[in-house]
Structure formats: C-alpha cells, structure tokens
C-alpha cells in the first residue's frame, strides 16, 4: 500500500510540475497574443489613415496646384516664391462627404477637407506658417500636423501654458515640451 501511495504521490508531483511549466508557457502566449493584437490594431489604424487620403478624382498634382494657388492668392506670396517651393507630398485628409447632408457652417453639400503638405525644405514651411497671419478674418488656417499621441499631449500642455501665462510667466510649447521661463518641462 505504501508503494502505491508513493507512486501516486510521484505521479501527482510530475503532473503538477508539468502544469506549472505549461502555465508559464500559457502566460507567455497570452502576453504575445496581446502584443500582436496591439500591433494589429496599429496597422489597421495606419491602413485606415492611408485609405482616407486616397481621392478618386483629385491627384496629388491637382492638390499641389490648389496649394500653390492658395499660397499666392491668400498668403500673398509672389508667384516666383511659390514656384520655387518644393513638396515631398500633398494630399487631402478624410473622406469626401457624398451623403448630401450639409455640415454646419459650410453652406455646401460637401464639407471642406484639409490639404496636408509635406515641404521638402524647413524654411519654406516656416515661411508659410509665418504668413498665416494673412488669413485673419477668413475661414482658412495653416497649422502643423502631429501624430495623435503628440497632438493629445500638446492640448494638455497648451492649457498649462495658458495658465502659466495668466500667472505672469513666459510659457510656450515646442513639439511635445512645455517651456516655462525658458526651462523645459518635459512631463507637465
């Protein structure tokens, strides 16, 4: 009887050891599946972003032409200065509204969709941003585009910068860093 009990105990110990080793593998597999699900979601989001920029009737060349006309007419650049600017990419953002419902403030059957320009030269981009003051009183604007995570962080930082300015300090935001009186506050 003792040998049977001893054999049974050894078998139970072996089974428990196997369960423990499999349990570790199961946890590792669960973590790996979770990581892969996150990667899959990011790839899906990226694919949606790329697809949202496709426009059947408007080529990048047409978008670039619209931007160049806008810069000379609205931003008051000379035609020569506009012609000298180089872009890496110009495209529309978002999907065309074809449901016939008028968005608020548009007055037309389509909502206005932003055009995104990636300038080849930083100086050209800064000239355009500096000339955006010519758009005061118009429905147009010029702004930088940031990744969603940075845009969210900037919103929080801009709110804090406003509070600091009201307190009499010099405050500004550069990319994802808040500066107060010239000192960077990275995690504000």
Q: For every one of its 188 residues, what pLDDT tens digit does the chain have, with 9 covering 90 and above?
A: 677 777 777 887 777 777 666 665 677 778 888 888 888 888 877 776 665 555 556 788 898 999 999 999 999 999 999 999 999 999 887 666 555 454 444 445 455 778 888 999 999 999 999 998 989 999 888 988 888 888 899 999 999 999 999 999 999 998 889 999 888 986 65
Q: What is the pLDDT of residue 95?
A: 64
91, 115 contact by CB (below 8 A): yes
Percent of the chain as helix, strand, coil, to the nearest 5: 55, 10, 35
| DSSP structure class, residue 57 | S
pLDDT of 46 reads 73
**Boundaries of every domain in the chain:** 1-51, 60-135, 148-185
Q: How far apart are CA 68 and CA 158, in angstroms?
A: 31
**How much is the pTM?**
0.55
Sheet strand arrangement including 177-180: 171-174, 177-180, 183-185
Q: Write down the pLDDT at residue 12.
A: 74
In 3D space, the residue among 106, 117, 122 whose CA is nearest the CA of residue 53 turns out to be: 117
d(CA 116, CA 145): 8
Q: For residue 30, what pLDDT is reported? A: 81
Strand duo 183-185 + 177-180: pairing: antiparallel
Distance separating alpha carbons of residues 136 and 28, to the nearest angstrom = 57
**Cβ-Cβ contacts under 8 Å for 111 (sequence gap 6 or more):** 94, 97, 103
The answer to whether 123 and 142 are in contact (CB under 8 A) is no
* N residues, the chain: 188
d(CA 44, CA 38): 10
Write down the pLDDT at residue 24.
58
> Partners of 118 in the beta sheet?
89
pLDDT of residue 174: 87
């Amino acid at each position: 009887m003792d040998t049977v009990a001893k054999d049974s105990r050894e078998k139970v110990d072996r089974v428990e050891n196997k369960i423990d080793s499999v349990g570790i593998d199961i946890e590792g597999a669960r973590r790996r599946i979770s990581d892969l699900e996150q990667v899959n979601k990011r790839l899906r989001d990226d694919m949606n972003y790329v697809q949202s920029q496709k426009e059947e009737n408007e080529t990048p060349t047409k978008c670039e032409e619209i931007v160049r006309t806008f810069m000379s007419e609205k931003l008051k650049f000379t035609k020569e200065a506009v012609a000298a600017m180089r872009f890496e990419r110009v495209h529309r953002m978002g999907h065309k509204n074809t449901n016939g419902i008028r968005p608020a403030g548009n007055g037309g059957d389509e909502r206005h969709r932003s055009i995104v320009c990636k300038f080849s030269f930083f100086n050209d981009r800064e000239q355009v941003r500096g000339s955006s003051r010519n758009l005061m009183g118009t429905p147009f604007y010029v702004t930088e585009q940031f990744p969603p995570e940075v845009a969210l962080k900037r919103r929080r930082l801009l709110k804090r910068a406003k509070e600091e300015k009201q307190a009499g300090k010099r405050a500004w935001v550069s990319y994802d860093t808040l500066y107060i009186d010239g000192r960077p506050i990275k995690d504000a």
